[in-house]
Amino acid sequence: MSFTTPPRPVDVTALFPQLAPLARTATRLHPRPGSPTVSDSSVGGPLLWPADEPWPYCDEPHDRRVAPVVHSPDDIRLHRRVCAASAERLHLDPEAPRWTPEERETLERIGAGRPWFDGPIPLLPVAQLYARDVPFPCPPDADLLQVLWCPFDHAMAHPRTALLWRSSATVTDVLDAPPEPPVIQLGHYLPEPCLLSPEQVTDFPNPMELGKELRDQVDDMSRWESVDPVLYSSYAEDPQELYFTNLCHAPGWKTGGWTRWGLTDPVDRSCPECGTEAVPLLTIASSEWDSVGVTWIAEEEGTAPAPPPLGARDGNFTLIDIVGGYDLQLHVCPADPSHPHIELVQ
């Protein structure tokens, strides 16, 4: 099904006309659990990968001190199914046992972990985007973006990503069974397979990226007098927070738009190869909404969204978690997207 972002509670360009020229189009992806194929745009689904092309591996060392217990991908999938079965049983009968003896035995076995593995790690598919479904900057001879990562932390406390661009028409013989990592550092580095429901929305800059004059206007409480007091009351001490949380840019998985700062102040995003300012390509999100940004919940979710499958919360249907709830934002060079990309956690 398709998903629709509700209209913003305030027409921010009517309050601040200087914002209008700063508007950018973003595409919310709205990933939802499904059974994608290699022909689909997806998160965590199979990739359209040529059978004669080597699968990428990470051959850098991985620190067992930050991952004393590791699990296989199949163990993680089984753990999710057991937890989902338990949640469904308790939903139907609150007096039912949380775990059956078989489930408890399975969870104990999984909890013990797997032996450490010191060899090269096959990269995990994270996302596949066809240009026919999702607009994004890409080289002129490509219509397909594939994102993979190593499911271990490296210099930063998040997986290291790899981007591959290709022309889908050139792939005629598809790899049937790509290799999987024998072990993964954290279960939330294994994305749950999801289909996408792309929707274009309008993004505006983070308050920290506004010029001083416009930023001062956003901070001026008198500018917000026409806003519904029910919405405004929660932000009466900080109107800039109202703008940041509900008006400037959509949360969740998306392409394009503006960078979603929050963990740090804005930093330089110059292309490492040519110096051109990089632009947002893909936001890999830990959730599609949060407790203070409920105005972003898709209309089709209803006012009280049903518990999502597999125990996800706040619209985290992919079951990915970046550094305890943040986003991993990939930026690329608009002059040549094949240049090395930039990773930002915000």
pLDDT tens column, 269-279: 999 999 999 99
Residue 261 has pLDDT above 70, yes or no: yes
Confidence bin at 166 (pLDDT 50/70/90): very high
CB burial of residue 21 (10 Å; 0-12, 13-18, 19+): exposed
pLDDT at residue number 317 = 93
Q: Could you state, in order of their start, the residue ranges of all structural domains in the chain?
A: 1-30+197-345, 34-72+114-192
**pLDDT grade for 236, boundaries at 50, 70 and 90:** low
First-to-last CA distance in the chain?
29
Q: Looking at residues 68-76, what average pLDDT do you find?
A: 95
Work out the average pLDDT over 169-193: 95
The C-alpha atoms of residue 325 and residue 334 are separated, in whole angstroms, by 28
CB 287 within 8 A of CB 56: no
The 10 Å CB-count burial string (b at 16+, else e) for 122-153 is: bbbbbbbbbeebbebbbeeebbbbbbbbbbbb
Question: Structure tokens of 276?
Answer: 């051109």
Tokens, residue 216: 């001062």
Q: Structure pTM?
A: 0.93
Question: Per-residue confidence at 63, pLDDT binned at 50, 70, 90?
Answer: confident
Mean pLDDT of the region 150-176: 94
What is the Cα–Cα distance from 133 to 144, expressed in whole angstroms?
Answer: 10
Mean pLDDT for the chain?
91
